[in-house]
Structure 1
Amino acid sequence: MTGQVAERATRSSVASAAGASKRIHVVQGEQHVTTDPDTVLTTLLGSCVAACMRDPVAGVGGMNHFLLPGGRSPTSDLQAERHGVHAMELLVNALLSNGARRERLEAKLFGGARLIDGLTDVGRQNSDFAERFLADEGIRYVGGSLRGEHGRKIQYWPILGRARQSLMERESQQVFDAERRIRPVKPVESDGSVELF
């Protein structure tokens, strides 16, 4: 009898999370961390990468969204917000300040598509950077979906660690158009290592 009650309670909490009432959309250069079990984080990705990270014991999780892998010393705050190094450090620090412990962190990575043939494969660079960051920081990589040729719509329930992905067809350029409508993107000066479009 006790097992049936526990199973019903688990199904109920999963159903509640699946119908989360608070949706927060994370755009380029942003990150969001929460302890609220009713929150679902969403984003649209092309060549960008989003890291979905949580501490399952502390009940805290979050998501970031970065445009370029970047270096450790971008030339402006605007550039810093778009670089993976900055985004990953902000996300990890926000999780730790909300009670997470580094050794319990787990992450899922999404994005990094190659959307336009003939240009530098920024999506691959972003994906490679994100995987390397997790390995270097000792953060457990528990899955996701990187690279490929399609944009993605991502939903992430940070307390459960559950993620849902919908692939977008070749109209993936609309990913960037949709994000620009949410928050205008100023051009980033190229240091010669990537081609911006």
Structure 2
Amino acid sequence: MTKCQTRHPKGKDIPWTERRSRDVFDDIPAGSCYYDQKLGRTVHKINEGGFCVLSQSDHVIMTTLGSCIAVCMYDPVTGVGGMNHFLLPEEKNNADKNTYNMRYGNHAMEVLLNEILKRGGQKKRLVLKAFGGGNVLSLTANIGSHNQQFLRQYIVDEGLVLDTCDLGGDFPRRLAFYPSSGIAYVKILRRASDLDIHHREETYRQKAVQENRNSQIDLFQEGRT
């Protein structure tokens, strides 16, 4: 497996278009798309629990990451590719096996993989790139590491190819992925306003944990006679 690069505060960034302290991306709701004049591309924005699969050469998928991980997956022959963005490694107490909570890595990876295969991709040709998994807040000090461990094991279990990864470190990232070519760009974020990313992830994490607890309570009540 490809050795992952670990990010540090003074790490060198992959080339990126320079932006102002705050740009239009910050104000676009997750799940939306808009035309970016600087990139000359239609941008699809995803957040925690989101995913997007495309094949258009003039489209790009973007997200911001703290302790979360985003996996970019594409088939270089068909030009079909996509990105997911998961918050936690695995959901182990899902009462309904036909439902998918995309905040969890096991569901997010399965849905992304299946969607690319449905659009003509072949598993043996798929190339993966992974980003994020940082230790960005004391409240989530272990979440990034757990996400990394899950992803590495998933890739081994599924026999997939990890081409590039940029995981760990102490700062959030901005990620842009061009699905038709498989090119990805990442930028380390150091602005004070990026603390919003940390708090947003923590809010989603607490919500996911509470939903999991409620599911277990429901199962117990349904099992009573």
Q: Normalized against structure 1, the TM-score is what? A: 0.77
Aligned to 2:117: 96
Over 6 Å off, 4+ runs = 76-79
Identity of aligned residues (%): 33
Number of aligned residues = 172
Equivalent of 2:207 in 184, 187, 191: 187
Deviations 1:48-77 (A, max 9, x none): 000000000011000000000013443579
Deviations 1:49-107 (A, max 9, x none): 00000000011000000000013443579982210000000000000000000000010
Equivalent of 1:132 in 125, 139, 153: 153
Q: Within 5 Å, which residues of 2 pair with 1:1-197? A: 19-74=39-94, 80-117=101-138, 119-169=140-190, 171=192, 172-176=194-198, 185=204, 187-189=207-209
Q: Distance in 1 between matches of 2:139 and 2:101?
A: 27
Q: CA deviation at 1:154?
A: 0.2
Q: Secondary structure at the match of 1:123?
A: helix
Deviations 1:100-147 (A, max 9, x none): 000000100000000123654100111111121112111110012111
Q: Distance in 1 between matches of 2:99 and 2:132?
A: 21
Q: CA deviation at 1:173?
A: 2.4
Deviates more, 1:52-61 or 1:126-135: 126-135
The answer to whether the Cα contact below 8 Å between 1:44 and 1:179 also exists between their aligned partners in 2 is no
Change (3 A) 1:69 1:160: same
Deviates more, 1:64-73 or 1:169-178: 169-178
Q: Distance in 2 between matches of 1:71 and 1:22?
A: 33
Task: Look up the equivalent residue of 1:114 and give its one-letter code.
Answer: N
Task: Look up the equivalent residue of 1:126 and give its one-letter code.
Answer: N
Change (3 A) 1:98 1:122: same
Q: Distance in 2 between matches of 1:143 and 1:81?
A: 23
Give 5+ residue unaligned stretches, structure 1. 1-17, 193-197
Q: Distance in 2 between matches of 1:78 and 1:175?
A: 27
Give 5+ residue unaligned stretches, structure 2. 1-37, 214-225
Task: Look up the equivalent residue of 1:70 and give its one-letter code.
Answer: E
Q: Secondary structure at the match of 2:196?
A: helix
Q: Distance in 2 between matches of 1:28 and 1:102?
A: 25
Task: Look up the equivalent residue of 2:197 and give its one-letter code.
Answer: V
Task: Look up the equivalent residue of 1:152 and give its one-letter code.
Answer: R
Aligned to 1:11: none
Give the alignment's Cα RMSD to 1 decimal: 2.7
Q: Normalized against structure 2, the TM-score is what? A: 0.68
Deviates more, 1:42-51 or 1:74-83: 74-83
Task: Look up the equivalent residue of 1:71 and give its one-letter code.
Answer: E
